[in-house]
Amino acid sequence: MHIHWFPGHMTKAQRMIREQLKLIDVVIELLDARIPLSSANPVIAELVEGKPKVVALNKADLAEPARTAEWVSYFRHLGFTTVTLDSASGKGTKELANKVEQEASEKIAKLAAKGIKGRAVRAMILGIPNVGKSSLINRLLGTATAKTGDKPGVTRGQQWLKIGKNLELLDTPGVLWPRMDDQEVAVKLAVTGAIKDDIYDMEKVILNLLEILNARYRDRLCERYKLTPEQLTEDTNELLALIAAKRGCLQSGGTVDCEKTRRMILTDFRSGKLGKFTLDIPVENPETEKYSNK
């Protein structure tokens, strides 16, 4: 299975980001706490190299708390100021604003020494599609100014927004990378909603998700779909059919409605009905070891 999705507007977005970076004091890279490294776009890392950066792990309410704590330690070990967020409820947004101002304090002090006083901190939010940028901005503003949606690609342009007296924020469209050579990463982006559902093979992606859940979260499958451990099988097609039967996802004649079952599992996963998940696992020595997908 190969997932590639790079709409033309993302090329334009990269060019816009490059042009605006010279105006920016601090970059906020918004990551999905469920897949902190799979959602870290290497294109973004290249674009903002040398700029002060705050890493924000969003959707922490959907991730495993212990794993999120490990990821915070991971990024801080690499030298990044790191915060956790639940932009849907607003938890963590004040801390983020404070950290951004702290990261920019040295530059603001230099400007003040030159006689430029009272200039707000200028920050840019970057991240992949559907990671929650607009929801975060709305929370920071306290109003639904930025357009939000549960589908990737909602924000197409750039807009400056004033946050209090000391912070100006530049929103940007979500940016994916042109090639996804790691298809395991691509599957994780698909199941968390960073890639539009209509451009990948839903059947294969959900079977991959079931394989991960069956290997690491068997208790969740049993609890949600009323299965016994003995019923769980490594054959993901059989497991899908079993879940369909348990949840009544059947067509006339008693045949399995695979499409309905796949979408039900995906909805359960994204909404948190299957529990909290972290699909990327950090390592103890981030400078010398790669993270684990297993």
pLDDT in tens, 167-195: 888 877 667 655 556 778 888 999 998 88
Q: Is 60 annotated as a binding residue?
A: yes
Q: What is the overall mean pLDDT for the chain?
A: 83
pLDDT at residue number 291: 45
Which residues is 64 bridged to in the sheet?
A: none
pLDDT at residue number 153: 39
Q: Is 59 annotated as a binding residue?
A: yes
DSSP assignment of 89-136 equals TTBTHHHHHHHHHHHHHHHHHHHHHTT--SPPEEEEEE--TTSSHHHH
Query: What value does the mean pLDDT take over residues 152-168?
Result: 66
Between 55 and 130, residue with greater pLDDT: 55
pLDDT in tens, 108-133: 888 888 988 888 899 998 888 888 88
The pTM is what? 0.84
Between 97 and 148, residue with greater pLDDT: 97
pLDDT at residue number 162: 84
pLDDT at residue 155 greater than cutoff 50: no
Tell which residue, 173, 168, 181, 164, has the closest CA to residue 30: 173
User: Measured between alpha carbons, how far is residue 198 from residues 9, 102, 155 in Å?
Assistant: 18, 42, 19
51 — phi, psi (to 5°)?
-90, 145
172 — phi, psi (to 5°)?
-140, 160
CB 28 within 8 A of CB 44: no
Q: Is 134 annotated as a binding residue?
A: yes
CATH of domain 8-170: 3.40.50.300
Q: Where in the chain is the domain with CATH 1.10.1580.10?
A: 183-271
pLDDT at residue 36 greater than cutoff 90: yes
pLDDT at residue 92 greater than cutoff 70: yes
Between 99 and 1, residue with greater pLDDT: 99
Q: Where in the chain is the domain with CATH 3.40.50.300?
A: 8-170
User: Measured between alpha carbons, how far is residue 56 from residues 15, 136, 145, 189 in Å?
Assistant: 23, 10, 21, 17
Q: Is 38 annotated as a binding residue?
A: no
Q: Is 115 annotated as a binding residue?
A: no
Between 110 and 12, residue with greater pLDDT: 110
Q: Indicate the Cα dihedral angle 111, 115, 119, 124, nearest 10°.
A: -20
Q: Is 79 annotated as a binding residue?
A: no
Q: What angle do CA 20, 25, 27 make, to 5 degrees?
A: 75
pLDDT in tens, 239-249: 999 999 999 99
Between 208 and 41, residue with greater pLDDT: 208
* Residue in this structure with the two tokens 């495993």, named with its chain if needed: 64
Residues 6+ positions from 108 with CB-CB distance below 8 Å: 25, 119, 121
pLDDT at residue number 195: 82
* Residue in this structure with the two tokens 């100021």, named with its chain if needed: 81
CATH of 183-271, one of 1.10.1580.10, 1.20.1290.10, 3.30.70.20, 1.10.10.10: 1.10.1580.10
pLDDT at residue 258 greater than cutoff 70: yes
Q: Is 197 annotated as a binding residue?
A: no
Tell which residue, 252, 228, 253, has the closest CA to residue 243: 228
Q: Is 58 annotated as a binding residue?
A: yes
pLDDT at residue number 161: 82
Could you tell me the pLDDT band of residue 138, with boundaries at 50, 70 and 90?
A: confident
Q: Is 130 annotated as a binding residue?
A: yes
pLDDT at residue number 265: 96
pLDDT in tens, 284-293: 655 555 444 3
